[in-house]
Structure 1
Amino acid sequence: MFVINRMTKNPMTVTADTKVDEVAYLMKKHNFRRLPVVEDGKLVGFLSDSDIIRVSPSPATTLSRYEINSLLAKMCVRDIMKKDVISVNVDATIEEAALLMYKNKIGGMPVVSNVGAVVGVITETDIFKTFVDVMGLLDSKTRITLEVSDKIGVVKDIATIFGDEGVSIDSLITCKKDDGKYEIVIRADINDVNNIKTKLEEKGYKVIHTVKIG
């Protein structure tokens, strides 16, 4: 899967000279949490609702609503935006985007074209939805978790067992454990879970969990 298929396309943008109170209104009106900042079509910053909250007076302030709005009206986006922006190319995979967000502890980032133009925004919600789709969690499948050793041919062997029983695997994901072994998570339409479990265990594969989700 690619970022271009999961991002919010053609996002609303603002300029660095836009007043903070105007941006705050736009974000609230359209329910946005992040906005790219552009100049001459190129990305120069990124603004989030947390940046606006950071410069807003405390709820305990004695300032009136007029005074608060007046204060924000004096600030420009350039004064509070993040200038060292982490972005991802539109041709990147969703895994690359997820890794960037994870390593940099951010909840979203702009997506740019090969010439630097902002073409989208990708967020943690988009990544989360991708995970749900990849795992087929809305399709009411049976989930089987196996613990296996790291050796060549394991996936082929397991797929053969499922195929011999007439079961088509919808998704298969592996995850390395701290002890060097792997967990393999398989999702499929399985009518007789006990039968599949028995066949797997007869081949020496340890079934550690089964459940139907969705």
Structure 2
Amino acid sequence: MFVRDCMTANPITITKDTPIFQALEIINKHKIRHLPVVQDGKLIGIVTERGLLRISPSPASTLSVYELNYILAKLTVAEAMVKNPITTTPDTPIEEAALVMREHKIGCLPVLEKGQLVGIITQTDMVEALVRLFNLRKAGSRLVIEATDRIGVLAEITSFFREKGISIRSLATLEREPGVYHLTLRLNIPDARDLARELESMGYKIISVS
């Protein structure tokens, strides 16, 4: 799966001269949290709802309504945006984009192709990618098997299910400790308990079945 499979294409954008109050109105209207900032068709920054609220006058301010409106009208996105944000491309593997977001502690990545903004991918999009990768919207069973890191172990396990005529809808690996992995499989059958017992008789440790 790649960024292009999960991103929001042609996102709503604003300019650095957009008033803060207008940017917040756009965010509230469209129920989004990030807005790319463009100038002459090029990405120059990004603003977040949190960043906009941080520089907005507090509702508890002693300023009059007139004074508050005057300040809000003067404040622009340029004062709240993150300049030259980290970006990604449509052909970046989704897991690499997720790693960048995690390591830099950011909530989104603008997506550029040939220097042009073509999309944005957010934490919400990453969760949706996880749902799709695990095929969670289809009914079935879930089996977690512990296996050691040795050549042929995946072939052995997948062959077991092939011989049973069972489809593996998704498979993920997690290294629990050096050389020991938990394999999480989602299967196209409602109950995998009999299969779990058979795998145990073959020497595999079953962590969970549901």
**Do these two structures clear the TM 0.5 threshold for a shared fold by scoring above it?**
yes
Cα contact 1:21–1:69 (8 A) shared by 2: no
SS in 2 for 1:160: helix
1:11-62 CA-partner distances (Å, limit 9, x unpaired): 1111112222221222222222111111111111001111111101223222
Equivalent residue number for residue 119 of structure 2:
120
> Does 2:122 align with 1:147?
no
**Alignment deviations for residues 138-176 of structure 1 (CA, whole Å, 9 cap, x no partner):** 111100001111111111101111122221111111111
Normalising to structure 2: TM-score of the pair?
0.94
Q: Does 1:3 align with 2:28?
A: no
- In the TM superposition, structure 1's runs of 4+ consecutive aligned residues that sit over 6 Å from their partners are none
Scaled by the length of structure 1, the TM-score of the pair is: 0.92
1:70 — aligned with what? 70
**Which is further off, 202-211 or 185-194?**
185-194
Which residue number corresponds to residue 83 of structure 1? Answer: 83
In structure 1, list runs of 5 or more residues that go unmatched: none
1:205 corresponds to 2:204:
yes
SS in 2 for 1:62: coil
- Answer yes or no: is the 8 Å Cα contact 2:34–2:46 preserved in 1: yes
2:19 matched residue in structure 1? 19
- Answer whether contact 2:140 2:191 (CA < 8 A) is retained: no
CA distance, structure 2, for counterparts of residue 93 and residue 38 of structure 1:
25
Unaligned 5+ runs, structure 2: none
Indicate how the Cα distance of structure 1 residues 69 and 27 shifts in structure 2: closer, same or farther if over 3 A, else same.
farther
- The answer to whether 1:169 aligns with 2:155 is no
CA distance in 2, matches of 1:87, 1:154: 37
Look up the SS of the partner of 2:144 in the other structure: strand
Percent identity between matched residues is: 42
Q: What is the total number of aligned residue pairs between the two structures?
A: 210
Q: Does 147-156 or 18-27 show the bigger shift?
A: 18-27
Question: Over residues 84-118 of structure 1, what are the superposed CA-to-partner deviations in whole Å (9 max), with x where a residue is unaligned?
Answer: 3011112212112111111111111211112x111
Partner SS for 1:187: strand
Alpha-carbon distance in 2 for matches of 1:109, 1:70: 33
State the SS of the aligned residue for 2:58: coil
| CA–CA separation in structure 2 for the residues paired with 1:123 and 1:154 | 35
Counterpart AA for 1:120: G
User: Do residues 48 (structure 1) and 57 (structure 2) align?
Assistant: no
Distance 1:191 1:83 in 2: 50
